[in-house]
């Protein structure tokens, strides 16, 4: 039997060899395919983890932006309310009214508000001035000091004109300041968030970190890991919001005030104003400030409000209190820090001057002014109910829009809303602005664009992110799966913005 088996094998040795070769080759191919499938599965899993990490980091960044705006806004609000003290003008008008009532023997236990204070013909001749003390005060060296000239007297009509301009200018200035602060904060924190993410990628690539990309570290004991590794540069860069909060708002206020005087200056407190008229006048003010066409809005110079000129940058850092500790000489590497700060400021300026910035700013201003006029003025001044607001019910809109009220009632609402815009908790105006989808798209573009240049500038290209050599193939594969959004198309802001808007539509 064994001999017959050997003879059979000898006679069929060629087919048997071929069959064994086919089976072996099939096994090898199967193992190869299975290994490739496993590699692809692991790569897809790594991609999902990396994308989820990136999504979480981005969402955390946007939440940080909201809290930062809420923390910084009171500074600008305090400055604006102090400069445009509508309540003081109201008090002076009430003093004149009270004096007139006293002369007529009329007793009034409660002071009138803006809404119920009316202007008569005699009021236009009534004057008010601040009393001054008699005598010549002396300085510390014994010399006489001249008295400051008394404030010029103003009639009640002049005070009403001041009140009209002040109330409207203050609420409009706060909306513009809130919108600009929101946009600036989005640019700043997303630029730093991008640097932080890339730093995590480099740490992962060089093996100095675990196989996951960490989120921002919120521990106070290790600030260097928050928003990148250069804490000194990041701290100086973030302090440039000081310019808008302490200098830029003044130019915003002047531009708004000039436009408000041009548009609202002819109104009298005895005028009856319709909702349509208020909306039309508000739109005219915005056209003077922002531009009347899309091209004019793109050419609007918002940069001067948000960032100082180069010769004022040192002043900003000095005034904000960010200086070298104890006046010590610059440490080694400070030149690199200055170069990194310069890159951040230059990129910020480029983003502010981009068409995308102007487009998104217009949209969030639309939302802010709509909340003020179409909701607050409509319900509190014109007494529309929310379900019958003139912006929601078209069938009865014409009748409601024709309803006319006295101007002081509108000014009263604007005076109260100024405090809601600047100090509201929760801030419903900020919530309205942040509900604009294009704002998040713009933030995503800032976060994801120009990564390749950032990596080159920071020396990250040499940190194994793009290494493809055979001895580091496994490591570079892991890193490539982590840099899920780093592609060469993302280096161009305009191209990234176009892709973002296309996806949204």
pLDDT (tens digit per residue) in 85-100: 999 999 998 888 777 6
Number of domains in the chain: 1
pLDDT band at 485 (very low <50, low <70, confident <90, very high): very low
Determine, yes or no, domain membership for 257: yes
From residue 182, alpha-carbon distances to 66, 220, 431, 464 in Å are 8, 25, 11, 36
Contacts of 436 (CB under 8 A, 6+ apart): 360, 363, 364, 367
pLDDT in tens, 257-309: 999 999 999 999 899 999 999 999 999 999 999 998 888 888 888 999 999 99
Let me know if residue 80 belongs to a domain. no
Please name the residues in contact with 360: beta carbons below 8 A apart, sequence gap of 6 or more: 183, 436, 438, 439, 441, 442
Tell whether the model's pLDDT for residue 138 goes beyond 50: no
- Is 279 inside a domain boundary? yes
**Structure confidence at residue 321 as a pLDDT band (50, 70, 90):** confident
Cis geometry, peptide bond prior to residue 313 (ω within 30 degrees of 0): no
Instruction: Tell me the CA distances in angstroms from 295 to 292, 355, 362, 368, 493, one per residue in order.
Output: 8, 9, 12, 22, 19
Does the pLDDT of residue 10 top 50, yes or no?
yes
- Phi first, then psi, for residue 140 (nearest 5°) are -65, -25
102 compared with 180, residue with greater pLDDT: 180
Domain span at residue 478 reads 46-70+164-323+334-504
For residue 311, being part of any structural domain is answered with: yes
Return the percentage of the chain with pLDDT > 90, whole number. Answer: 42
CA atoms within 13 A on the CB side of 345: 25
What average pLDDT does the segment 14-35 reach?
77
Q: Does 81 score more than 70 pLDDT? A: yes
Residue 12's pLDDT is 73
* SS3 sequence of 142-161: CCECCCCCCCCCEEHHHHHH
Confidence label for 492 from pLDDT (cuts 50, 70 and 90) = low
The predicted pLDDT at position 293 comes to 87
Tokens at residue 151, please?
A: 């404030």
- Angle subtended by helix axes 156-205 and 275-290, to nearest 10: 60
d(CA 130, CA 151): 6
**C-alpha to C-alpha distance for 416 and 379, rounded to whole angstroms:** 14
444 occurs within a structural domain: yes
Residue 45 vs residue 216, higher pLDDT: 45
Burial track 174-202 (b if 16+ CB lie within 10 A, e otherwise): bbbbbbbbbbbbbbbbbbbbbbbbbbbbb
Is 344 part of any domain?
A: yes
Report the pLDDT averaged over residues 385-401.
56
Cα–Cα dist 505/499, whole Å: 10
Instruction: Decide if pLDDT at 5 tops 80.
Output: no
Domain presence at residue 172: yes
User: pLDDT class for 219, splitting at 50, 70, 90?
Assistant: very low
Q: The pTM is what?
A: 0.75
Task: Say if residue 210's pLDDT is above 80.
Answer: no
**Residue 424 in domain:** yes
Provide the pLDDT confidence category of residue 403 given band limits of 50, 70 and 90: confident
């Amino acid at each position: 039997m064994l001999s017959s088996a050997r003879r059979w094998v000898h006679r069929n040795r060629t087919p048997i060899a071929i069959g064994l070769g086919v089976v072996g080759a099939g096994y090898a191919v199967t193992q190869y395919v299975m290994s490739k499938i496993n590699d692809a599965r692991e790569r897809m899993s790594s991609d999902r983890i990396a994308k989820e990490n990136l999504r979480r980091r981005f969402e955390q960044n946007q939440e940080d932006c909201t809290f930062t705006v809420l923390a910084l806004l009171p500074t600008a609000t305090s400055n604006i309310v102090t400069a445009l003290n509508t309540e003081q003008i109201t008090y002076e008008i009430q003093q004149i009214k009270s004096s007139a009532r006293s002369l007529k023997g009329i007793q009034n236990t409660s002071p009138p508000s803006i809404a119920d204070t009316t202007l008569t013909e005699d009021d236009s001749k009534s004057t008010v001035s601040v009393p001054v003390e008699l005598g010549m005060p002396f300085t510390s060296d014994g010399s006489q000091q001249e008295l400051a000239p008394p404030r010029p007297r103003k009639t009640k009509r002049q005070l009403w004109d001041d009140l009209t301009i002040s109330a409207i200018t203050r609420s409009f200035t706060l909306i513009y300041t809130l919108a600009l602060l929101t946009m600036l904060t989005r640019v700043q924190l997303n630029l730093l968030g991008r640097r932080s993410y890339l730093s995590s990628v480099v740490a992962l690539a060089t093996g100095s970190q675990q196989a996951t990309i960490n989120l921002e570290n919120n521990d106070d004991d290790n600030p260097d890991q928050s928003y990148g590794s250069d804490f000194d540069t990041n701290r100086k860069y973030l302090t440039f919001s000081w310019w808008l909060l302490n200098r830029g708002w003044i130019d915003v206020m002047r531009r708004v005030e000039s436009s408000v005087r041009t548009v609202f200056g002819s109104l009298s407190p005895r005028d009856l104003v319709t909702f349509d008229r208020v909306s039309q006048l508000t739109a005219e003010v915005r056209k003077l400030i922002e531009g009347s066409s899309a091209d004019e809005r793109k050419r609007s110079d918002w940069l001067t409000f948000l960032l100082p000129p180069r010769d004022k940058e040192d002043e900003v850092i000095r005034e904000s209190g960010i200086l070298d500790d104890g006046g010590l000489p610059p440490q080694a590497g400070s030149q690199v820090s200055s170069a990194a700060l310069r890159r951040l400021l230059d990129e910020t300026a480029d983003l502010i001057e981009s068409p995308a910035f102007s487009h998104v700013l217009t949209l969030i201003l639309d939302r802010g002014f709509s909340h003020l006029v179409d909701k607050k003025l409509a319900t509190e001044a014109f007494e529309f109910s929310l379900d019958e607001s003139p912006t929601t019910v078209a069938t009865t809109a014409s009748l409601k829009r024709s309803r006319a009220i006295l101007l002081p009632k509108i000014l009263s609402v604007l005076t109260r809303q100024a405090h809601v815009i600047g100090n509201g908790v929760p801030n419903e105006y900020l919530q309205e602005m942040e509900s604009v989808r294009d704002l998040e798209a713009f933030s995503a573009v800032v976060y994801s664009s120009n990564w390749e240049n950032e990596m080159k500038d920071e020396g990250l290209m040499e940190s194994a992110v793009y290494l493809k050599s055979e001895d580091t193939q496994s490591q570079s594969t892991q890193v490539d799966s982590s840099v899920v959004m780093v592609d060469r198309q993302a280096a161009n802001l305009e191209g990234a913005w176009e892709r973002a808007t296309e996806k949204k539509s």
